[in-house]
Amino acid sequence: EVQLVESGGGLVQPGGSLRLSCAASGFTFSSYWMTWVRQAPGKGLEWVANIKQDGSEKYYVDSVRGRFTISRDNAKNSLYLQMNSLRAEDTALYYCARDRYAAPTSYYFDYWGQGTLVTVTS
Amino acid sequence: QSVLTQPPSVSGAPGQRVTISCTGSSSNIGAGYDVHWYQKVPGTAPKLLIYGNSNRPSGVPDRFSGSKSGTSASLAITGLQAEDEADYYCQSYDSSLSARVFGGGTKVTVL
Q: What pLDDT digit, counting tens, does each position of B37-66 carry?
A: 999 998 899 999 999 999 999 999 999 999
- How many residues are given for chain A? 122
* A119/A90 Cα distance (integer angstroms): 8
Contacts of A105 in chain B (CB under 8 A): 32-34, 93
For A9-67, write each residue's pLDDT tens digit: 999 999 999 999 999 999 999 999 999 999 999 999 999 999 999 999 999 999 999 99
pLDDT value at position A106? 86
Q: Which of A2, A6, A22, A45 to mutate to test the interface with B (most CBs of B within 10 A)?
A: A45
* A26/A29 Cα distance (integer angstroms): 8
Nearest to A44 among B52, B100, B104 (CB): B104
A106 has a chain B CB within 8 A of its CB: yes
Q: Is A45–B89 a contact, with Cβ atoms under 8 angstroms apart?
A: yes
* A101, pLDDT greater than 90: no
Q: How far is CA A45 from CA A93, A95, B26, B104, in A?
A: 10, 10, 22, 7
pLDDT value at position A103? 79
Q: Is B52–A35 a contact, with Cβ atoms under 8 angstroms apart?
A: no
pLDDT band at A98 (very low <50, low <70, confident <90, very high): very high
A108: β partners:
A100
Distance from CA of A35 to the nearest CA of B (A): 10
The sign of the CA dihedral A58, A4, B62, B75 is negative
* Burial label, B86 (beta-carbon count in 10 A; 0-12, 13-18, 19+): buried
The two counts, helices (H) then strands (E), for chain A are 0, 11
Cβ neighbours around A77 below 10 Å, total: 16
DSSP sequence for B60-75: --TTEEEEEETTEEEE
Look over chain B and give the mean of its residue pLDDT values, rounded to a whole number: 96
Q: Are A4 and A34 in contact (CB under 8 A)?
A: no
pLDDT band at B110 (very low <50, low <70, confident <90, very high): very high
For A104-119, write each residue's pLDDT tens digit: 888 999 999 999 999 9
* A69/B11 Cα distance (integer angstroms): 40
* A58/B47 Cα distance (integer angstroms): 24
Q: Which of residues 60-99 of A touch B (CB under 8 A)?
A: 61-62, 95, 97
Residues 6+ positions from B111 with CB-CB distance below 8 Å: B11, B12, B13, B14
A56 has a chain B CB within 8 A of its CB: no
pLDDT band at B87 (very low <50, low <70, confident <90, very high): very high
Distance from CA of A110 to the nearest CA of B (A): 6
Pairing assessment for the beta strands A10-12 and A116-120 based on DSSP bridges: parallel
A117 has a chain B CB within 8 A of its CB: no
